[in-house]
A and B are shown apart, each in its own frame.
Chain A
Amino acid sequence: MFKASLKDERGNLFQSRAVYRANSAGEVDLEQDPSLGGDYAGVHPMGLFWSLKPEKTFLRLIKRDVMNRPFQVTLGLYDSASFLDDSRQPRASQIVERWFSCPGMQRVPISEGRLRGALFLPPGEGPFPGVIDLFGGIGGLVEFRASLLATHGFAVLALAYFAYDDLPKYPMEFDLEYFEEAANFLLAHSKVQKPGIGVLSASKGTEFGLAMASYLKQVVATICVNGPVTISTIPLRYKDLVMKPFGVPAEGVHVHPTGGLIFRHHETNLQEEQNQQRALPVEKAQGHILFIIGENDECVNSRRHAEYAVDRLKRHGKNNGRILLYPGAGHLLEPPYGPLCFASWNLSFPSPLVWGGDTILHAAAQEHSWGEIQKFFRQHLVLSRSQL
């Protein structure tokens, strides 16, 4: 049995285990041998990483300090009898380091004007294609995806928009001009390529990503991961325009057998005339939009939202929208090898929120989509020589 364990920065333990059979020469190679049972089955070289589970149920694994320290994962080799017995010692063990940044990368804390966040610059002179990274209802500043994307040659601004520093914890309204300020700030940076930037947004963040795509011509490539195409809960203002939110009526929230809350079932009827006017006007977008969808998303019916948006683009004679649909993937699609978080606590709610996802299919979706995200940004942000 192989067991992986790590402690996050708050001391929470995450573990995974898988059972293999050695060949006649007494060898096991995770790149080609199948796991026979445990947290996953089948041939999955990185399975021990993406099947890690928190010892305390409903915790999510998030790297906070992305520059100075890696996650240390202890890999242990045990007799299979240890499967349900944690007291036994491993026959062999090894610690591996999982970094969220690369040598030579820079992290610049941003506190310019209203902006709050962190800018990640790849090593070298640049200029680099610029991307703004927006997380969702978790609030605060989540940096690990931005820092990982920067290791692949992008200048990435992880932007906070609530519950961080002096940004309000419970805003009454969001202001798209804040995000416009961020776009202009990024474009003005000496190490960022002109004339356009990208936005990578997830969950609630896609409201802002899509609004930026619709209203700001500086945003030429937008990726929306598992989010709504309408404003939710809190209104969004852009100059004179106030976009009113759709809420989820309390009775629309379903309860999972574990007690977790499932938000996906509330159906805003997007086909209704009045609701169409309240969805984001994606047909105004001048850049390209990629929707990345987990079909088993239990938090948002992301598929329906994305299909509505792409359909709306087509009805306006535009085909700058595309969907990548991943069967079995849940709400929290993250960079590859991150463990599936099926449900976790969220500060605003008394019960955990169910995100959904099938462990193995979700891992495959993360691996595939991460490549697609980089391809999409390179295709639309990186200028070919002939365009310069």
Chain B
Amino acid sequence: MIQLTATPISALADEPIHIQATGLNPLQMVVFEASLKDEKENLFHSQAFYRANEVGEVDLECDPALGGDYVGVHPMGLFWSMKPKKIMTRLSKRDVINSPFQVQLKLYNSDDLHIRLPLAAPKASLTVERWYVAPGVTRTQVQEGRIRGALFLPPGDGPFPGVLDLFGTGGGLMEFRASLLASHGFASLALAYFGYADLPPQLEKIDLDYFEEAANFLLSHPKVLGPGIGIVSLCKGAEIGLSMAVHLKQITAAVLINGPNFIFSHPHEYHGQVFQALPIPLHLVSINALGLLEFCNSFGDPQAEGNRRFLFPIEKSQAQFLFIVGEEDKTLNSKASAEGAIEQLRCNGKNNWTLLSYPGAGHLIEPCYAPLCSGSWCSNLPILWGGEVIRHASAQEHSWKEIQKFLRKHLIPGQPSLL
């Protein structure tokens, strides 16, 4: 009898699952399919071909996929290679507390598929749950002073190392990374800064006083360990994270994912002082063969002499930095930015940085097992984020662990050095 198993059947979205099939014919070619519907009813799915061994078994932990959405030995490939049915749709969990993503796993005889479409019922199927919170994690809507966001606390009394979580130019509030961090023992504040609640609908400037308010709010919380907090930030969020790390002593550790080492488009303000932004000549954006916008070459050369006034004086920061770079980022030349920032630190005799640079990874580096989104609609524009499916997945797997190690090392006193 054909059996399909997945263990554990219910887990955190960043935890691996062991998928196996037994009871097949020897050397039978089968197809595993994973599919899910997101909260807006968008369909995502993936398929991979495997050949059973002499006793009719397939074990995704050690057997290679022979084709489909990925090839090679990738136990979690069915998850991170999922593609949306409607092109340019990004997978993003909105309600992180009350429900998981339900992923259907199905097993087909390869003859029962004609170019990705099933012609017969699957031989076996089951549903696994992918949660964005661990049991006991709490979510509190934050509306203190000007701050708008969601605070995730791990179960227990704490205190817990505090982390501020910042996303990019899409605006609104993305909570899934903060909730996962809380599931790993961090008090995480997912902070919105425009396009949410009564915050400005468009981004016009970066008001560092607002972000300082958020940092102080977090630090003053009884369950948050001081004396400093960490930042996990992506893209525009990383620009803000770097700015905060330069101006605010409260920032002890900053994780900057695919962010610029310069201010672009929107000026920063802190205590009345204005820091100018490199204007981006939008008409120099290039459009790729499928009509998506590639921004990475439209910034000119931010490291050039004439643009020095837009660079962050990173050498003034007392924080520790973890730069995470996707080398196939099509939105920003993240590698040049990280290298520029590191060069500035070196020139000033500082070594408070680590660089993790991932070949083949794109702009949207997320917690592990998230499907690669290489292009999607953002603020009504079709944006090319870049990335190659397999290498982006391994970058996510590696960096997610490194991010947690880095935050623990610098936010929890007495953590052993991991060198």
How far, in whole Å, are A93 and B281 apart by their CA atoms in the complex?
24
The reply to whether A342 and B83 contact each other, CB–CB distance below 8 Å, is no
The interface bits of chain B over 360-387 (1 if a CB of A lies within 8 angstroms of the residue's CB, else 0) are: 0000000000001011000001000001
Among the listed A84, A255, A258, A351, which residue makes an inter-chain contact with B375, where contact means beta carbons less than 8 Å apart? A258
How far, in whole Å, are A250 and B81 apart by their CA atoms in the complex?
17
Interface residues of A in 31-74 (CB under 8 A from B): 36-39, 41, 51, 53-54, 57-58
How far, in whole Å, are A348 and B116 apart by their CA atoms in the complex?
12
How far, in whole Å, are A250 and B30 apart by their CA atoms in the complex?
11
Nearest-Cβ distance from residue A308 to partner chain B, whole angstroms: 23
Nearest-Cβ distance from residue A83 to partner chain B, whole angstroms: 4
Nearest-Cβ distance from residue B42 to partner chain A, whole angstroms: 12
Decide if A157 is an interface residue (CB 8 Å cutoff): no
> How many pairs, one residue from A and one from B, have CB atoms within 8 Å of each other in the complex?
99
A257-B387, A351-B116 known; A80-B290 Cβ under 8 A: no
How far, in whole Å, are A51 and B290 apart by their CA atoms in the complex?
10
Q: Count B-side interface residues using an 8 Å CB cutoff.
A: 40
CB-nearest residue of chain A to B373:
A257
How far, in whole Å, are A40 and B348 apart by their CA atoms in the complex?
41
The reply to whether B291 and A251 contact each other, CB–CB distance below 8 Å, is no
Decide if B33 is an interface residue (CB 8 Å cutoff): no
Decide if A317 is an interface residue (CB 8 Å cutoff): no
CB-nearest residue of chain A to B115:
A349
Of B65-73, B240-248, B263-271, B399-407, which stretch is located at the interface? B65-73
The reply to whether B29 and A251 contact each other, CB–CB distance below 8 Å, is yes
The reply to whether B110 and A359 contact each other, CB–CB distance below 8 Å, is no
Chain A residues with CB under 8 Å of B49's CB are: 250-251
The reply to whether A259 and B87 contact each other, CB–CB distance below 8 Å, is yes
How far, in whole Å, are A227 and B116 apart by their CA atoms in the complex?
23
The reply to whether A1 and B289 contact each other, CB–CB distance below 8 Å, is no
Q: Count A-side interface residues using an 8 Å CB cutoff.
A: 38
Decide if A357 is an interface residue (CB 8 Å cutoff): yes
The reply to whether A19 and B283 contact each other, CB–CB distance below 8 Å, is yes
Decide if B162 is an interface residue (CB 8 Å cutoff): no
How far, in whole Å, are A58 and B68 apart by their CA atoms in the complex?
20
CB-nearest residue of chain A to B113:
A250
Chain B residues with CB under 8 Å of A289's CB are: none
CB-nearest residue of chain B to A251:
B67
Nearest-Cβ distance from residue A78 to partner chain B, whole angstroms: 10
The reply to whether A253 and B115 contact each other, CB–CB distance below 8 Å, is yes
The reply to whether B87 and A80 contact each other, CB–CB distance below 8 Å, is no
The reply to whether A253 and B287 contact each other, CB–CB distance below 8 Å, is no
The reply to whether B115 and A257 contact each other, CB–CB distance below 8 Å, is no
Decide if B126 is an interface residue (CB 8 Å cutoff): no
Decide if B284 is an interface residue (CB 8 Å cutoff): yes
Among the listed A251, A254, A343, which residue makes an inter-chain contact with B110, where contact means beta carbons less than 8 Å apart? A251
A-B contact list, 21 entries, CB within 8 Å: A1-B283, A37-B285, A37-B286, A38-B283, A38-B287, A41-B286, A57-B88, A80-B283, A81-B283, A252-B67, A253-B67, A253-B68, A253-B116, A255-B389, A257-B374, A257-B388, A258-B87, A259-B87, A350-B115, A358-B289, A359-B289
Chain B residues with CB under 8 Å of chain A are 29, 31, 49, 66-69, 71, 81, 83-85, 87-88, 110, 113-117, 281-291, 293, 298, 372, 374-375, 381, 387-389
